Homo-oligomer: A and B are copies of this chain.
Amino acid sequence: MIPLSDEDEPLRHGGDLGASRRLFPGARCRFIDLSTGINPNPYPVPRFSAELFARLPDPSAVGELAAAAARAYGAPSALVVPAPGTQILLPLVAGLVRAGRAAVLAPGYCEHARAAAFAGHSVKAVRGVDDCGDATLVIVTNPNNPDGRLLAQTDLLALAEDLRRRGGTLVADEAFMDVGPPGASLATEVVCGNVVVLRSFGKFFGLAGLRLGFAIAAPAMASRLRAALGPWAVSGPALVVGAAAIADTAWIERTRKRLEKAAQRLDKILSGSGLDVIGGTTLFRLVQTPAAGALFQHLGRAGIWVRAFPDNASWLRFGLPATKRDWQRLDDAVASFRLRGRAFGS
């Protein structure tokens, strides 16, 4: 039995409205959850047939979903492995490469370091792809969460080549690549062998509760992941919605444009009140301010839940409001913070 360790302790995440209610019991109104980077206007979920819940997920439906994802991501279908969310893939992938030194680009999604440590790697956080030293597992999130940093495909391919020479693997978590620039994904490059790409479904399509994600990897890794997940990893409803959504190019294009506008609107609210938006994607924006703690408290009391960072007290991450009313409440709450004489720059 592997001994108990720190990696077993739960980490803090966005999306936990129970935590918001415990922290701000006085907030009288419905909480607006801006603590995640999930599209607040989801892909429409059909009325599912009872069979989708009742029967074991159909192997041919798994194949259809993988084929749809393969077309969308530009990788051969045989290399696409559907999973119940990408989260579950992190320790699986890290566990299928030789345990050694892992470098995780930081700041970033906190579960990566934990998953690599869980799988037996000695993990260090590094600032950039040039700082990976002799790591044999390098994990990047691209575009990055929470700062939106985008790594160039050429740099990542050079890193992958370096890693290959020492028998190492590059994991690129592309959870937010649906709103990244065209041609930036490494999904088209996994055939070269030592690159594993993770793609989320729930964020861009706004269906995080459905649990769906993909690993895209060279044949050996894809095959091992498929064997680890087993024959019915993805639920019946997720197979059906996933295949339909990923192939719905009109909805995808419309949504990309809508998210761009929404992100601009969010920036206007934030920077219009003197807040410094230092990065993000069109699904979330990162604010840096010495008043982050006070603003977090102020928004919480107003029933607005944003993401604070234990490791960086001057950062707050804002997701997109869902409705006209929620936009207005955010606008009012940010403005009223400023009007109370709290200078954001102070």
Contact = CB atoms under 8 A, between A and B. Distances in A.
Interface of A: 1-4, 7-8, 10-11, 13-19, 33, 36, 38, 40, 42, 45, 47, 50-60, 84-85, 87-88, 90-91, 95-98, 111, 114-115, 118, 169, 202, 206-211, 220-221, 223-224, 226-238, 241
Contacts of A60: 18
27 contacts: A1-B169, A4-B220, A8-B224, A10-B226, A11-B231, A13-B56, A13-B231, A16-B58, A16-B59, A18-B58, A18-B59, A18-B60, A33-B55, A45-B50, A53-B209, A53-B237, A54-B208, A55-B208, A56-B209, A84-B233, A84-B235, A88-B88, A91-B227, A115-B230, A208-B232, A209-B237, A235-B235
A139 to B, nearest CB: 15
A118 B227 contact: yes
The CB with the most chain B CB atoms within 10 A, among A4, A88, A115, A209, is that of A209
B221 A1 contact: yes
Nearest to A241: B53
A56, A59, A118, A238, most chain B CB atoms within 10 A: A56
B232 A211 contact: yes
Which of A59, A96, A169: most chain B Cβ within 10 A? A59
Given A4-B220, A4-B223, A209 B51 contact: yes
B228 A118 contact: yes
Contacts of A15: 55-56
